[in-house]
Amino acid sequence: MMFLDQAKVHLRSGWGGDGCVSFRREKFVEYGGPDGGDGGKGGDIVFQATQGLNTLIDFRYTQHFKAQRGAHGSGRNRNGAQGQTLVIPIPIGTQILADDEDRTLIADITEPGTRMVFLRGGDGGKGNAHYKSSTNRAPRQFQQGFPGREMAVWLRLKLLADVGLVGLPNAGKSSLMNAVSNADAKVGAYAFTTLKPQLGVVRHKNREFVLADIPGLIAGAADGVGIGDRFLGHIERCRVLFHLVDASGESPTSAYHTVREELEAYGNGLAEKPEIVVLSKVDAADGRSLSNARRAIARHTGREPLLVSAMTGQGLPELLDLSLSRLGIRPGHDLETGAAWSPL
């Protein structure tokens, strides 16, 4: 399935139905009076967070959404039916933004099953029965239905994950994700193998957490170079970051600082998130280069990096143990509810 994390949609709620002009006509009832019913209310536009969706690709092919109009009123005081509500399913983690220069945030849908009435339908008009008075016994006045609301908005998806992977292109993020989760990310010996964010579920010691992999960052990513600002948006909700640095690269410290500068430039709290620094691809580095890289990273960060190889499995158990600790997942407790865990 193609991944799409941003889309513009045009919405219009339903018009209300018109009121009716009608008079009671029955045998032996000479002056039956007005009996025109009211028009029905127009249909609402509703956004609903739906599990199982992880992309906005459906909005690439359908951008216009129009709710049903309310039915007109009729004689015998019969009111028109309400227009059907139009429910638009969206992935959990979708933001709704105004179509203005600043893309003002209107709503942030983060809870499964959330239903948000975004545009209300227009009210139905009154029938002539409402206009009867002591001086006007046979009114021919009615009220037209009120118009629905019309609006264009942007939908932007930000993935919900516990841990996010960051690093330069070809730092080994996809290989690590495949090694520790149920994901099947594309792996290649070239930069920008990963072209879209991806989620995977990590299971370790009877616990689970969600890992997000984003395409590699380059200098200027926070300003939109390589649409890096959109990729960084997908790790805003992460509680912990894995910062991967290629142990076999030419300058591990330079690679580390490049990514850190982009996190700080992007803002939104990314630079303040707990970070686990990982020297990846240690199987591809000779002993001397690995030792120099480890000392350099420790000197710049003030803490020892983890030495990890997705190919051989070196360091993976220690990395996952540390992840559970940083996420606050204590032995015997579930990640989401905090309830005591017990085997089936």
The answer to whether residue 224 scores a pLDDT higher than 80 is no
pLDDT tens by residue, 290-321? 999 999 999 988 899 999 999 999 999 999 99
For residue 13, how many other CB atoms are within 10 A of its CB? Answer: 30
- Calculate ∠ Cα 22-28-34, nearest 5°: 20
Architecture label for domain 1-157: Distorted Sandwich (2.70)
Q: Is the pTM of this model over 0.75?
A: yes
How do the domains of the chain map onto residue ranges?
1-157, 163-327
Band of residue 88 on the pLDDT scale cut at 50, 70, 90 = very high
**Of 223, 106, 245, which is closest to residue 170 (Cα–Cα)?**
245
CA distances from 303 to 77, 276, 294, 306 (A): 78, 10, 10, 10
Q: Does domain 163-327 have CATH number 3.40.190.10?
A: no
